[in-house]
Amino acid sequence: MPPPVANVLKSRADADEWRNLINDRPRGLDRRRRITNKVALGAITAAFCLAIAPLVSVLWTVVSAGLNRIDVEFFTQSMRGVIGEGGGALHAIMGTIQITLAAAVISVPVGILAAVYLVEYGRGAFARTLTLLVDVMTGIPSIVAGLFAFALFSLAFGPGVRAGVAGAVALSLLMTPVVIRSAEEMLRLVPTELREASQALGAPKYRTITDVVLPTAASGITAGVMLGISRIVGETAPLLLVAGFTDSMNYNLFSGRMASLPVFIYSQWQNKGVDAAAYDDRAWSAALTLIAFVFVLNLASRMANRFLGAKAR
């Protein structure tokens, strides 16, 4: 049955009345809203510029000063026997790569397995205690991790031991909580329906985790791992304490002192010889190399995130 004519006319009259009220609203209100919007937009833009200005300043300073020694010799030579000009940072670059990879080998399996336990199995007091310990580890100073590694290796191998693996252990203490937290958040984002569908097909819980949950969260876990590596790659205090410094190449993580880029920057800046400008140039070039290393890691993280995310879909 069509609606009565009186009801149709009444609804049209109400719509016309509301339309007239909207069209006749005070122009001052619109003007105040536009002004408020422009003021808020200006404040947000100013805050963004204020926050990014130090970053731009640091990048400009490092790039402008670091390009002085970006040459073939810098990336192919060590500082063995070099006093004054010349030399390079190959030994520090290789040391940074080896120590960082060793720390990732230690941290990534431990972090992912701990996150899987907290999300899939963790219940009760033990899970709460583990979560508390992860939160505490996230905020520990890097020098404390270095002291722990120094004490551990001194007890195991004698006092005064210096080795690249000790630096890797110290850095893994800083990287592991980052990996745990990021992996835990990514695993919690996996829909419960996927787990239930896998278990409904008869798959045991461990197969559900390995074949459904982890592949679905792989892109986020990869981004968290790269974030953890970026967190530790610039640490100086633990490596200065347990890995030491050398001017020569060292490819053995388990024997002898091993240089790294952060410690190389510190040593070049602090222990200047007669030609102070040469030491400053090497320090700035090493800093630029370290920033480029972090940039490449973040770029690789984004590419892996995009590839794994598309594969999961």
Task: Give the integer Cα–Cα distance in Å for 280 and 296.
Answer: 24
Cα–Cα distance, 109 to 184 (Å, whole number): 13
Distance CA 289, CA 300 (A): 16
pLDDT tens for the 313 residues of the chain, in order? 455 544 444 566 565 555 555 555 555 567 788 888 889 999 999 999 999 999 899 999 999 988 888 888 888 888 888 787 888 889 999 999 999 999 999 999 999 999 999 988 878 888 888 888 888 888 888 899 999 999 999 888 888 788 889 999 999 999 999 999 999 999 988 888 888 888 888 888 888 888 888 888 888 888 889 888 988 988 888 998 898 888 888 888 888 889 999 999 988 888 776 778 888 888 999 999 999 988 888 888 788 777 765 555 5
pLDDT of residue 198: 87
Three-state DSSP state, 123? coil
Cβ 235 vs Cβ 175: under 8 Å = no
Give residue 204's pLDDT: 87
